Amino acid sequence: MAKTESTFRNMVLSLTLISLVAAAGLGFVYEFTKEPIALSNLNKKVEAIKQVVPEFNNNPYNEMFRLPTGEGDSLDIFPAKKDNIIVGYAVTSFTKKGFSGNITIMAGFKPDGSIVDIKVLEHKETPGLGTKMIEPKFKDQFMQKNPAEFSLKVKKDGGPVDAITAATISSRAFCDAVQRAYNTIQKGVQK
């Protein structure tokens, strides 16, 4: 095989061919993994719904609706029903006030507004500090509390919430996400 001359044209053709092969490979991998990733995310949400609301026998995911927060965005609301009677609402909420960015949670509320449970779906907080928001010692202090009477603020800001040691920003962000969920559900759901 004869050696090809290194010209500008040959280099451009080589780089174009390499780029096309790489792009085709990436496209194939994306298409191959798109459905399993979407299914995994769906299962994660369904499991979170089961954990944050009282026992139900409907399919909250099929009855999901969106409510505006009043801040230019909206939240997904999953109504949980037992024998066609609302027993709670699972709300996917978020905040951008985390130490390392977004925190996404699933908060469960009874029809009276009291918190059933909260599950952190996604965060990028500091390991060993902000990640403690998923531990029962922190998140259980919100259970069975109604934000109408229980201020969702850390003690440093005059509220009753015990912040995570050395992670006050993450604690405030967690409270902000729960407050956003509560406010949205109170404004939008008919009693």
Q: What's residue 191's pLDDT?
A: 46
Name the 3-class secondary structure at 87.
Answer: strand
Tell me, yes or no, whether 41 lies in a domain: no
Residue 80 is predicted with a pLDDT of 94
pLDDT score recorded for residue 188: 79
Residue 26 lies in a domain: no
Q: What is the pLDDT of residue 26?
A: 95
Q: How far apart (Å, rounded) are the C-alpha atoms in residues 109 and 81? A: 12
Residue 59 lies in a domain: yes
The parts of the chain modelled with pLDDT lower than 50 are 191
The answer to whether residue 38 is domain-embedded is no
Nearest to 94 by CA among 121, 56, 134, 115: 121
pTM: 0.80
Q: Report the pLDDT value the prediction gives residue 1, as an integer from 0 to 100.
A: 64
Confirm whether 104 is domain-assigned: yes
Domain of residue 97, residue span: 51-188
Distance CA 77, CA 80 (A): 10
Q: What SS3 state is found at 55?
A: coil
- Residue 126 is assigned to a structural domain of this protein: yes
Domains in the chain, number: 1
Question: SS3 for 34?
Answer: helix
